[in-house]
Amino acid sequence: MAAFRRGLKRSVLVAVLVLVPVPALVPAATAQAPGDRAPGDWALVLSGARFPGDETPPEALASALAAADAHYGLPPAPGGAAFERLGPEGLECAVHLRFPAGESRGTLVFVHGYQEHGLSAPAMVRAALDSGWTYAGLDLPGHGASPGERGWVDDFSEYGAAVGALLDGGLVPRDRPVLVVGFSTGAAAIAEFLSTLPADAPARTERFLFLSPLVRIVAWWPSRLGLFLAEWAMPRLPGRTVGMTHDKAWKQSAARDPLRVGDPPSAWMHVLVRWEASLDARAPRPEAIRVLWGGSDTVVNAAYGRRSLERLFPASTHEEIRGAYHGLPFEGGAYLEAVLRILREELASGETRPGG
């Protein structure tokens, strides 16, 4: 019996080690440090604001928005900031808006990765504002200031519905260009939205840029076996940030981010498995998506993801940033510069020609 227990413990440990490639997990020791993740007043204000019947004073919301910018190292947006919600009752997802000086040239919609939120990539915000574009950062269900169990969703269709609510809900102006950027799970959310449109739906007019899109994680089959062995004992996974970015300061800032999901639910992997299995039955779409992969990504299976996206979006183009890790929106040094160069190209192209 003692030998059996030792063997079971080893199996659980192996399962945890296999499962850690799930995107963007936080180091358990850091995430649990007392006070590190205690929500600030501004985060609590945002998490409760703009729901039906909400009576948050405008000055309190404005103060929370300013405090959020300060927390993420963002200067005040030249044209101001706003915070909105959209979607059906119970799924009113949060949208973080930052406006440029003068008339906006277009809207950059950013859909974050797993555990992240609409303000977790400050470089995306700066790039939009510096180019004269409005920034609209979506918080997916169960993330950031959006409602729902932290890190959980019943089905990826909820992610796709959130993207659709933002793009088609009247918040994003349709008389100017729109660039939709999806990182990791955010790219999967956009793919879910596009691939479930009616069969006769024409190509969308937005432009699309995917960064390290999630289809399968690395060690796909061992991870599924590890989940089966470990989830009964570990409903939430202790995580890590190894292989996310070359920016050494990012780990500490992520651990102290009050809007970021801490230890994610292990059962979320089942939801990802169901979604990935459903893709084979979906008809190809005409959107010409530009896809960037990190050449040293140890989180997603880039080779498999590329094949899957090429089938689903035959007009997609794929590029690799050599040496870059998974977290392209918050990479460091020359890797981030490579991402921003491509982002600026897309912003410039969006002003001169339609997407799709």
Share of the chain above pLDDT 90, in %: 75
Report if residue 241 sits inside a domain. Answer: no
The rounded distance, in Å, linking the Cα atoms of 75 and 88 is 32
Quickly tell me which residue has 């192996």 as its tokens: 14
Report if residue 42 sits inside a domain. Answer: yes
3-state SS class at 223: helix
Residue 8 — pLDDT band, cuts 50, 70, 90?
A: very low
Query: Both ends of the chain: CA-CA distance in Å?
Result: 62
pLDDT of residue 21: 42
Residue 61 sits in which domain range?
Answer: 36-215+268-350
CB 81 within 8 A of CB 58: no
Report if residue 157 sits inside a domain. Answer: yes
Tally the domains of the chain. Answer: 1
Report if residue 26 sits inside a domain. Answer: no
Region of residue 248 (phi > 0: left; psi between -120 and 50: alpha; otherwise: beta): alpha
Report if residue 355 sits inside a domain. Answer: no
Report if residue 261 sits inside a domain. Answer: no
Query: What CATH number is given to the structural domain containing 156?
Result: 3.40.50.1820
pLDDT per position as a tens digit, 170-179? 999 999 999 9
pLDDT per position as a tens digit, 300-347? 999 999 999 999 999 999 999 999 999 999 999 999 999 999 999 999
Taking each helix axis from N to C terminus, what angle separates 333-350 and 122-130, rounded to the nearest 10 degrees? Answer: 40
Report if residue 6 sits inside a domain. Answer: no
pLDDT per position as a tens digit, 121-159? 999 999 999 999 999 999 999 999 999 999 999 999 999
Report if residue 15 sits inside a domain. Answer: no
CB 160 within 8 A of CB 192: yes
Q: Per-residue pLDDT for 9 more than 90? A: no
